[in-house]
Amino acid sequence: MQINLETDYAVRCMVYLKDHKDAVSVLGDVAKGTRIPQAFLSKILQKMIKGGLVKSAKGKSGGFRLAKEPDRISVYNIMQAVCGCETVMKVVCSKTKEPCAFLKSCKIHVVWQDLGKIMKMILESRKLSQL
């Protein structure tokens, strides 16, 4: 499994919002507190909103906050919101990043599938409230 920068940033952003859950957080404060470039963070937050993990409010007292309690959000949920359900545990070629061309004949593929299931189970069990 390879964690990309966007996924790392998304988890950091969600931890920040969890740590500040009693207030609405403005984009600039989240960016500064997480060291994530503001433009990139804005895109990540839009994905979190679309994924139902974050709420936003516009206006003078607007900003971002968690849409659910932290114990109802898993690391897997965050990864799904950022990169999509089908790409979180996809077996891909390490060179081309495309789906493995040998899936039907590969003798070790079942090992990668089992590993993916275990990783998914762990990521689903780790809640934002634990981070």
- Number of separate domains in the chain: 1
User: CA quadruple 102, 103, 104, 108: dihedral positive or negative?
Assistant: positive
Per-residue pLDDT of the chain (131 residues; tens, 9 = 90+): 668 899 999 999 999 999 999 999 999 999 999 999 999 999 999 999 999 999 999 988 899 999 999 999 999 999 999 987 655 566 666 666 676 666 667 777 778 778 888 988 999 999 999 99
Domain of residue 67, CATH code:
1.10.10.10
Domain carrying residue 101:
5-130
Entry pTM: 0.85
**Is residue 55 within 8 Å of residue 20, measured between CB atoms?**
no
